[in-house]
A and B are shown apart, each in its own frame.
Chain A
Amino acid sequence: MNNDYSIIHWVKDAKEDMATADEMIRAYMPFIRKETAKFLKRPLVEENDDELSIAMIAFYEAIQDYSVIRGSFLHFAALHIKSRLIDHARKETRHRGVLSIDQPVSEEDDAPLKNQLADPEDLIHETVMRDATRTEIEEFAASIRTFGIQLSDVAEHCPQQQRTLEACRLALNYAKEQPQIMDEFLRTKRLPISLIAAGSGVERKTLERHRKYMVALLLAYTNGYEIIRGHLKCALLTERRGV
């Protein structure tokens, strides 16, 4: 019983802070592993079993959704992990009959199937590309950190609804065309919310709520970050066409 109370407090803290949530998931890995194995009806062989990562994210969702009225946390989490895994299994049935490139060629030959495939031409290019992207993202993450923002914060304050997303996009499109707003933004390390709200016609409240998100995206449009910008490009282009 005593233990039960401490877990509720832990869940409460984890709900606020992703680092705590991560820590909690780490601590409850045996539990998550057990639930996954129970569902799969086989012991987990590899550390990075797909189901395990889904169970982990399900555990995280359980932390987010839990409230005391739902009963014991672990029971609730177990239930949620199970439903998530069922959901995943249903999705996977679509791929039944499709070979995995990771599976062994035959009983005798242990080498995965992909070794027999001709190497895709741009494998090297891809690796180079990935390294470049990683460098850029790391730079980007460091840069937003100077604004006192973590990437997980951005994820947490990202607009959920399409309508909000579009409003933010509208504000972004306006802001990035205004050199004086960008200057002020970079100089003071603060988002000139009232200027953007007045210029773009987006509600101030919306901007305030998604401030961290706006900062991250606006920063992506300043200097460099070609890859991130390239990734985003299509979305913003369609937006511009629409306006």
Chain B
Amino acid sequence: MKYIVMECHFSYAILLDEEGRFLKAANRGYQVGQSVYDPVIVGSYRYRPPMARIFARGVALVVACLLIILGITYYRYNMEAVSTIVMTINPEVKMELNRKGEVLELVGINADGMTLIADYDYEGKDKIAVADALIDRAIEQGYLTEGGTIAFTVDSKDDDLLPTYRKELLEEIAAYLAGRIHVEITVIGEDLPAPDGTTSTTTDGKPPLTGNPDPSDYIGVDRAKEIALSHAGLTDATFESAELDEDDGAMVYELDFIADGIEYEYEIDALTGKILKHQSEPIN
């Protein structure tokens, strides 16, 4: 390309190329009217980093992304509190667990609970190990005696974990205490299905006997009322009577109530919550 020098300044010159562009270029001792062929044009220089640096930059970016993903995964699995287990004997303590079921934090809820966990190093230990150790302490300190109860309340952000935790707590703690002390273990979870099976009695490590129901297994009179009302399609009613009775060797709740001038009678199985009998008739 041929350029004509149009104007000369101290630090630059203005050139006209053959395509009609006016350009600023380095003034390499040019004179107006001169034709030049190899000018250094302003703005034409673009710094291009060497390939190695571009490559290194790419690698650094990939590594950074991986580190972030790894960090998030590590946090999710190890640092984030996913579940809580509250253990109540008389001392009450709360464990916060990560996704792997390891104890992140252990706090005493009541004064006895604080005494129980004093100086106990729980960090990174599994929930069962912590529970076992705390039960040992409770026995040592006289909180837990023969025939006592241990209640666990389980809650988790991940609902899939609840049944697993329930099973683990029931079985492993029962196995741990088997042959040493006879206590009753209850596991309550917010979203746990059917209440049966949440309880196990350590009868020397054997599973709880069926047909010899424990009163704590009963669904409770309030729950029975709820079942009856929802069956009748009511939200509220006046209860004439609501009591636990034995009927043909099974425990039932017998409920009598009145709503909108109709009298209802219900019999509900105390263990399963099943409606055994129901009838309704107008009062008159």
Binding site for B on A (CB under 8 A): 18, 21-22, 25-26, 48, 50, 53-54, 56-61, 64, 83-84, 87-88, 130-138, 140-141, 151-152, 154-156, 158-159, 165, 168-169, 172, 213, 216-217, 227-228, 231-232, 234-236
Decide: A134 and B42 in contact? CB cutoff 8 A. Answer: no
Decide: B24 and A83 in contact? CB cutoff 8 A. Answer: no
Decide: A130 and B10 in contact? CB cutoff 8 A. Answer: no
Query: Can you identify 6 A-B contacts, CB atoms within 8 angstroms?
Result: A21-B11, A60-B42, A133-B34, A134-B32, A152-B24, A231-B4
Decide: A50 and B11 in contact? CB cutoff 8 A. Answer: no
> Given A25-B11, A60-B12, A87-B45, does the pair A137, B24 have CB atoms closer than 8 Å?
no
Decide: B16 and A228 in contact? CB cutoff 8 A. Answer: yes
CA distance A138 to B8 in the complex (A): 11
Beta-carbon nearest neighbor of A235 in chain B: B19
Decide: B22 and A61 in contact? CB cutoff 8 A. Answer: no
Q: Which chain A residues border B18 with CB–CB below 8 Å? A: 231-232, 234-235
A-B pairs with lowest CB-CB distance, top 6: A134-B33, A133-B33, A57-B26, A25-B11, A48-B29, A155-B22
Decide: B20 and A130 in contact? CB cutoff 8 A. Answer: no
Residue from A26, A48, A53, A83 within 8 A of B40 (CB atoms): A53
> Given A54-B26, A57-B42, A151-B7, does the pair A83, B32 have CB atoms closer than 8 Å?
no
Beta-carbon nearest neighbor of B28 in chain A: A53
Decide: B29 and A231 in contact? CB cutoff 8 A. Answer: no
Q: Which chain A residues border B7 with CB–CB below 8 Å? A: 137, 141, 151-152
> Given A83-B45, A137-B6, does the pair A57, B19 have CB atoms closer than 8 Å?
no
B277 at the interface (CB under 8 A from A): no
Known: A21-B11, A137-B32, A158-B21. 10 other contacts (CB 8 A): A48-B28, A54-B40, A57-B24, A57-B40, A60-B11, A88-B40, A133-B33, A155-B24, A231-B4, A231-B16
The binding surface of chain A is classed by DSSP as helix
The binding surface of chain B is classed by DSSP as loop
Residue from B2, B24, B27, B33 within 8 A of A130 (CB atoms): B33
Decide: A165 and B45 in contact? CB cutoff 8 A. Answer: no
Decide: A83 and B47 in contact? CB cutoff 8 A. Answer: yes
CA distance A140 to B27 in the complex (A): 20
Beta-carbon nearest neighbor of B30 in chain A: A53
Residue from B9, B19, B31, B42 within 8 A of A61 (CB atoms): B42
Beta-carbon nearest neighbor of A28 in chain B: B11
Residue from A134, A151, A236 within 8 A of B31 (CB atoms): A134
Q: Which chain B residues border A61 with CB–CB below 8 Å? A: 42-43, 45
CA distance A155 to B42 in the complex (A): 10
Q: Which chain B residues border A235 with CB–CB below 8 Å? A: 18-20
> Given A25-B11, A56-B12, A59-B11, does the pair A213, B26 have CB atoms closer than 8 Å?
no
B227 at the interface (CB under 8 A from A): no
